């Protein structure tokens, strides 16, 4: 996904796989199992 000029809207394009991919940044992944939830952060640099 090309990063556009910072003054313009961030453009998110569908890839050839038919999917949209996350952009750079920090995210949280939560896992729920048998009523318990654990989470972890991950960073796309």
Partner 1 sequence: MLLLPRSIAFPKKNLLLSLTLLTLASPVFSQKPTPADTRLSGFEQHKNRKQNTLLGALKPENIGPSVFSCRVTDVEVNPADPTEMYVAYASGGLWHSTNNGTTFQPVFDQEAAMTIGDIAVDWQRRILWVGTGENNSSRSSYAGTGMYRSADGGKTWEWRGLPESHHIGRIVLHPTDPEVLWVAVLGHLYSPNDERGVYRSTDGGNTWKRTLFVDKNSGAIDLCLDPTAPNTVYAATWQRERRAWNFSGAGEGSGIWKSTDGGATWGRVSIPGSGFPTGANTGRIGLASGVKDGKTVLYACVDNQNPKPKKDKPAEDILTKDQLRSITTPAFLKLSDEQLDEFLKTNRFPEKYTGKKVKELVEKAKITPQALVEYLEDANAMLFDVDYIGAEVYRSDDGGRSWKRTHDEPLEQMNFTYGYYFSNIRCRPDDADVVYLMGFFIVSSADGGKSWKNINGDNVHVDHHALWVNPDRPGHLVNGNDGGLNISWDNGASWILCNNPPVGQFYAIAVDDATPYNVYGGAQDNGVWVGPSTYKASTDWHQSGKYPYQSLLGGDGMQIAVDTRNNSTIYTGYQFGNYFRIDQNSGKRKPISPRHDLGERPPRFNWQTPIHLSRHQQDVLYLGAHRLYRYFNRGDDWAAISEDLTGGGQKGNVPYGTLSTIHESPLKFGLLYTGSDDGRIHVTRDGGDTWTRISDSLPQKMWVSRVVASAHEKSRVFAALNGYRWDDFNAYLYVSDDYGKKWRRIGTDLPAEPVNVVQEDPENPDVLYVGTDHGAYISLDRGQTFQALSRDLPAVPVHDMAVQAKAKHLLLGTHGRSMYKVDVAQVQQLTGEVLAAAVHLFELPKTKYASNWGKKRPWQELKDPELPVTFYTAAPGPASWTVKTKDGIVLNTGQVNCAKGLNSFTFALDFQETVLKRYQKALQDAQKGFQKNR
Report d(CA 27, CA 34) in Å as an integer.
23
Task: Say how many Å lie between the first and final Cα of the chain, rounded.
Answer: 14
Binding mask 5-44 for partner 1 (x = CB under 8 A): -x--xxxx-xxxx-xxxxxxxxxxxxxxxx-x-xxxxxxx
> What sign does the dihedral 44-3-16-14 (CA atoms) show?
positive
Write down the least CB distance from residue 13 to partner 1, Å: 10
Binding site for partner 1 (CB under 8 A): 1-3, 6, 9-12, 14-17, 19-34, 36, 38-45
């Amino acid at each position: 996904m090309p990063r556009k000029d910072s003054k313009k809207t961030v453009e998110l394009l569908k890839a050839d796989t038919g999917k949209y991919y996350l952009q750079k940044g920090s995210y949280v992944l939560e896992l729920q199992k048998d009523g318990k939830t654990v989470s972890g952060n991950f960073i796309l640099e």
